[in-house]
């Protein structure tokens, strides 16, 4: 492995359950097997992570699936070509309402409880009643403007014939979501694990539905690398992809997922208890302090199953995400056509390195 262009790498991540492939690649020695010395650097916000990757402070990063597209088009930042050769995970997000909003929803709809996954249409009467009373609008939070969370939240609201103009939508870092919900600064959020489960365990939230209920098996987190870095360090990129592919494969076994929760609970990573990290990893969606969990088999998905290719960055997936970005008005005319999705979602690069994958049994 001594022929790598760069052996020492700094990789950024945000403390979320689906950072597991990077944490496992380090803890299980998969990076080291590839000749890589990796430092995982925790970032509290996606904007900070993006900016550090753009500046070369980070060599690679866990990214939200739409972020390489946004970076390459210069949306919210200076245009910086970012590519993804590898999808780290599918699904993983959920929408959680504060218990106060949930009780308000039940009251105005004259319900004792509500079926899950929750229909967004049940918020209609809440919105109308608040408007009539001159009360504050419902305040939702997501993690980043160019995120699956944002588009999933909008799609869910639209399914209940609710316009984004009828609610407030804020951007809040994942680690701050539960605190904001508890203080009443927001009424609901869309975020990845373990923060939905933490709200439920704390007795302050109802997890209404997961991203799997909204978009079934769509890319959530990807490995982001600058185009320049990839071109100058092709052997290093191959080694990096091999290591995370090993980790994704390792995560397929349920006993390994319990072990992953233990590693993730460390203060170096999520700094959260096992009982909020483990559930989503084993397909259990905690719902409410007074209700049973929901079984969502593919809540967190890291590796290919029969008929699926989880880790391949399909151009069609990138095109679908770009269409979402355009539909919500995030892509100005000047940016349309400024990139080719195939230059960002690099199926070709994935295929060129996949022959190096060693799928050892776990």
Mean local confidence (pLDDT), 43-60: 97
Question: In Å, what is the CA distance from 55 to each residue of 22, 59, 114, 349?
Answer: 21, 9, 47, 23
Question: In this structure, is residue 1 part of a structural domain?
Answer: no
Mean local confidence (pLDDT), 180-190: 98
> In the chain, how many domains are there?
2
Last residue of a domain, one of 214, 241, 273: 214
Question: In Å, what is the CA distance from 100 to each residue of 15, 106, 112, 197, 205?
Answer: 27, 10, 14, 17, 8
One domain, residues 129 and 270: no
One domain, residues 187 and 161: yes
- Alpha-carbon distance 345 to 68, whole Å? 8
Confidence class for position 362, pLDDT limits 50, 70, 90: low
Question: In this structure, is residue 2 part of a structural domain?
Answer: no
Which pLDDT belongs to residue 307? 65
- Which structural domain range is residue 312 located in? 8-91+217-354
Question: In this structure, is residue 259 part of a structural domain?
Answer: yes
Mean local confidence (pLDDT), 6-29: 98
One domain, residues 162 and 221: no
DSSP label at residue 262: H
One domain, residues 170 and 289: no
Give the CA dihedral 117, 121, 125, 128, nearest 10 degrees.
130
Last residue of a domain, one of 214, 233, 255: 214
Q: Are 240 and 83 within 8 A, CB to CB? A: no
One domain, residues 84 and 145: no
Mean local confidence (pLDDT), 14-20: 98
One domain, residues 225 and 205: no
Q: What is the per-residue pLDDT across 278-309, written as a single tens digit (0 to 9) for each?
A: 999 999 999 999 899 999 999 999 997 666 78
Q: What is the per-residue pLDDT across 103-123, written as a single tens digit (0 to 9) for each?
A: 999 999 999 999 999 999 999
Last residue of a domain, one of 194, 214, 234: 214
* Residue 190 Cα to chain centre, angstroms: 10
Q: Please name which of 360, 130, 165, 330 lies closest in space to residue 245, comparing C-alpha atoms.
A: 360
Q: Please name which of 260, 239, 221 lies closest in space to residue 362, comparing C-alpha atoms.
A: 260
Mean local confidence (pLDDT), 324-337: 91
Which pLDDT belongs to residue 150? 98
Which residues are 64's β-sheet partners? 221
- Residue 189 confidence (pLDDT) above 80: yes
One domain, residues 149 and 163: yes
- Among 1-15, 60-74, 270-284, where is mean pLDDT lowest? 1-15
- Alpha-carbon distance 187 to 135, whole Å? 13
One domain, residues 203 and 261: no
CATH code, domain carrying 257: 3.40.190.10
* Average per-residue pLDDT for the chain: 95
Mean local confidence (pLDDT), 79-100: 98
Mean local confidence (pLDDT), 211-218: 96
One domain, residues 258 and 180: no
Confidence class for position 335, pLDDT limits 50, 70, 90: confident
Question: In this structure, is residue 251 part of a structural domain?
Answer: yes
């Amino acid at each position: 492995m001594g022929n790598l262009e760069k052996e020492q790498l700094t990789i950024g991540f945000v403390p979320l359950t689906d950072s597991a492939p990077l944490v496992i690649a380090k803890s299980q020695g998969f990076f080291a097997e590839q000749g890589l010395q990796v430092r995982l650097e925790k970032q509290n916000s996606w904007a900070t992570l993006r900016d550090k990757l753009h500046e070369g402070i980070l060599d690679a990063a866990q990214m939200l699936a739409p972020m390489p597209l946004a970076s390459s088009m210069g949306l919210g930042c200076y245009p910086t070509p970012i590519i993804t050769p590898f999808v780290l995970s599918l699904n993983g997000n959920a929408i959680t309402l504060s218990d106060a909003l949930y009780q308000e929803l039940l009251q105005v709809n004259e319900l004792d409880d509500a079926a899950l996954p929750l229909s967004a249409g049940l918020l209609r009467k809440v919105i109308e009643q608040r408007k009539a009373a001159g009360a504050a609008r419902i305040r939702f939070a997501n993690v980043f403007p160019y995120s699956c969370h944002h588009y999933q939240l909008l799609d869910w609201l639209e399914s209940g014939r609710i316009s984004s103009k009828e609610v407030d939508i804020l951007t809040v870092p994942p680690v701050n979501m539960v605190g904001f919900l508890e203080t009443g600064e927001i009424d609901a959020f869309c975020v990845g694990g373990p923060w939905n489960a933490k709200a439920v365990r704390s007795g302050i939230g109802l997890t209404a539905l997961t991203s799997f209920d909204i978009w079934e098996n769509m890319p959530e987190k990807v490995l982001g690398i600058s185009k320049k870095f990839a071109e100058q360090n092709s052997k290093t990129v191959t080694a990096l992809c091999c290591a995370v592919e090993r980790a994704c494969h390792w995560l397929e076994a349920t006993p390994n997922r319990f072990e992953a929760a233990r590693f993730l609970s460390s203060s170096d990573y999520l700094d959260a208890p096992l009982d909020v990290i483990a559930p989503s990893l084993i397909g259990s969606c905690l719902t409410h302090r007074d209700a049973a969990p929901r079984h969502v088999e593919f809540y967190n998905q890291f590796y290919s199953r029969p008929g699926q290719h989880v880790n391949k960055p399909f151009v069609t997936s990138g095109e679908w995400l770009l269409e979402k970005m355009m539909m919500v008005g995030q892509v100005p005319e000047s940016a349309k056509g400024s990139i080719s999705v195939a230059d960002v979602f690099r199926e070709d690069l994935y295929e060129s390195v996949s022959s190096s994958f060693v799928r050892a049994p776990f």
